[in-house]
Amino acid sequence: MSLITLKDITKIFNRGRPDEFTALSDVSLEIEPRGLAVFKGPSGSGKTTLLSIVGCMAKPSAGRVFVKGREVTSLPDRFLTDVRRHTFGFIFQQLHLVRGISALENVILPAYPSGERIAALRDKGLRLLDLMGLSSRADTNIEWLSGGEAQRVAIARALINEPAIVIADEPTAHLDTKLSLDFMAAMGRLKAEGKTILFASHDPLVYESAMVDRVLEMRDGRIVAERRAS
Amino acid sequence: MILSPAVIALMLGSTAVGLLALYASAWSVRILRYWDLRSGNESQLQLEKRTYLVSTLMAWAFAFQVGSLFLFIFTAEDLHRLFVGAMCAAGTLNVNEFGYPTILLKVCNALLAGIWLIVNYTDNRASDYPLIRKKYALLLVITPLLLLETFLQGAYFAGLKANVITSCCGSLFGAEAQGPVSSLVGLPARPMQAALIASLAITFVSGFLFLLGRAWAGALFAFSSLAAFFVSVVALVSFVSPYIYELPTHHCPFCILQREYSYIGYFIYTFLLGGAIPGAATGALLPFRGIDSLQGVLPPVLRRLALASLLFYFLFSLLVVFSISFSGLILSAG
């Protein structure tokens, strides 16, 4: 059974206005669990829009999305928030870490609404930072971390709610080759743990990586080609 | 027309609620005709987004609608000083022929709006919009009543002339009252006491049985809590108010809103509405207990509604018993 099913997804921005733009057009897709899939394509091809719809951050104009067999596009926001919080972890192109607070506080921030005790959250956050090799930097404010360290804090933050699916939008766009390879190695570890990983990227270092199971090429809001790892 | 701030607020509020209800009704028709959660087409997704906006707007509009009943009563009470002959809201409402129809319709609309708010709240607790058609069908029923209320209230306020000599409540609700009111005033005290005690007793017993898990008692509780509202209002005019005034011939349901009587009327009417709305809403929601997505949602909502209704009727009963017990008036059986 597929983990995520997209059925005839269309996304139109500014419908009926002069600047109407069709970002996705009739996209249907099934994503299996425990794999690493990359959506590649030029800027404006619909990769980010598709990932935000899969991650329940945006609703399509038409079509339905099923996550673990449950239809999620019709869900009112209060239910969607719960699905988003417990199913997906997000790593953004701009890391969106909060300046002025420590790495550990950034990591546990998305788990505050869960109501879990703060001591338990801190333990969980420290374990994740340790996995990322950052335990010595836990109390350091974000603005004092290097680019690679900040990237790993963002990964730890994406994992704090123990999501089944990790979504990353152009994760290596601001990283040099070494940091990009480190990032892919970290993703490889998550994949080995059984996480499903979805990337939007046009970086060959990402979509040509040996650990990628599936590459879906997008253009003009459609999936035009697909390659699976042999 | 007398342009007091409260009159302007009521006119603007009522017009806004009427216009919002019209807007919502247009979407209600589309939802009733085209809603299909299995479909992923664009118009269905548009309806799903729109219902969130419409139900949010109407929730605020109906909350105002319930509150506006009290603002209307307060305004009628406050304006009585301007009319020769008026001693309280009863005289103000009698200035023209639209006063009493307006307040009766406002009570009816406050009950319906309260029920709609509770149905909407319950629908929003479930993930698959299980009551969406029902709540929008109810909205279509309420909309014409809201528009009629806007018209009647507008006509009433427009027809308020300070030079009109009106009747005081002594003649409207006194021993010499004429018309339909006279039948309320003339109702014998003892049978009305029995009717009030019986309706409240049935409400309490069926409500407690329902809370204890006897599902069959739910329908009886819903019916009796609504019936208790009307019986209580009649009893208030018939025999409770004379105890509050300590005057056997004075039955006005509005003088109790005045300072001389510690504004007790506002408490009485709040408790009555607080008892009737959740009680009636229990009845409105009971038929949907079989819906899968409401299995975990409806039982706690029904329990809270029943509890709220019982609490408000208990407070009402307490207030009535207190008023009668500590009154200097002793009525003989009649």
CATH number of the domain that A38 lies in?
A: 3.40.50.300
Q: How far apart are CA A176 and CA A168, in angstroms?
A: 17
**Do the chains contact at B42 and A61, CB–CB below 8 Å?**
yes
Quick check: is A28 in a domain? no
**Do the chains contact at A59 and B49, CB–CB below 8 Å?**
yes
What is the pLDDT, as a whole number, of residue B94?
A: 84
CB contacts of A67 in chain B (<8 Å) are: none
Positive or negative, the CA dihedral B135, B141, B147, B150 is negative
Quick check: is A91 in a domain? yes
Quick check: is A176 in a domain? yes
Q: What is the DSSP letter of B250?
A: -
Query: Three-class SS of residue A30?
Result: strand
Can you name the residues that pair with A71 across neighbouring β-strands?
A66
8 A C-beta contact, residue A9 and residue A26: yes
Can you name the residues that pair with A168 across neighbouring β-strands?
A91, A199
Quick check: is A16 in a domain? no
Q: What is the pLDDT along chain A (230 residues), one digit of tens a residue?
A: 789 999 999 999 998 899 999 999 999 999 999 999 999 999 889 999 999 999 999 999 999 999 999 999 999 888 999 899 889 999 887 888 999 999 999 999 999 998 899 999 999 999 999 988 888 999 999 999 988 889 889 999 999 999 999 999 988 887 788 888 888 888 898 899 899 999 999 889 999 988 999 999 999 999 999 988 76
Average pLDDT across chain B, whole number: 91
Counting one residue from A and one from B, how many pairs have CB atoms under 8 Å apart? 30
**Do the chains contact at B129 and A73, CB–CB below 8 Å?**
no
Q: How far apart are CA A101 and CA B201, in angstroms?
A: 61
CA distance B33 to chain A (A): 18
CA distance B146 to chain A (A): 28
Tokens linked to B61: 């509009």
| Phi, psi values for residue B290, rounded to 5° | -80, -10
CB contacts of A76 in chain B (<8 Å) are: 52, 124, 127, 129
Indicate the angle between helix axes B217-235 and B189-211, nearest 10 degrees.
150
**Do the chains contact at B127 and A79, CB–CB below 8 Å?**
yes
**pTM of the complete model:** 0.87
What is the pLDDT, as a whole number, of residue B180?
A: 61
Q: What is the DSSP letter of B332?
A: P
What is the number of structural domains in chain A? 1
Please tell me which residue of chain B has the smallest CA distance to A64.
B40
What is the pLDDT, as a whole number, of residue B181?
A: 62
Quick check: is A94 in a domain? yes
CA distance A80 to chain B (A): 9
Query: Considering chain B, what percentage of its residues have pLDDT values greater than 90?
Result: 70
Domain limits for position A86: 34-59+76-228
What is the pLDDT, as a whole number, of residue B175?
A: 62
pLDDT at B186 over 90: no
Q: How far apart are CA B129 and CA A25, in angstroms?
A: 27
8 A C-beta contact, residue B37 and residue B127: no
8 A C-beta contact, residue A89 and residue A166: yes
pLDDT at B162 over 80: no
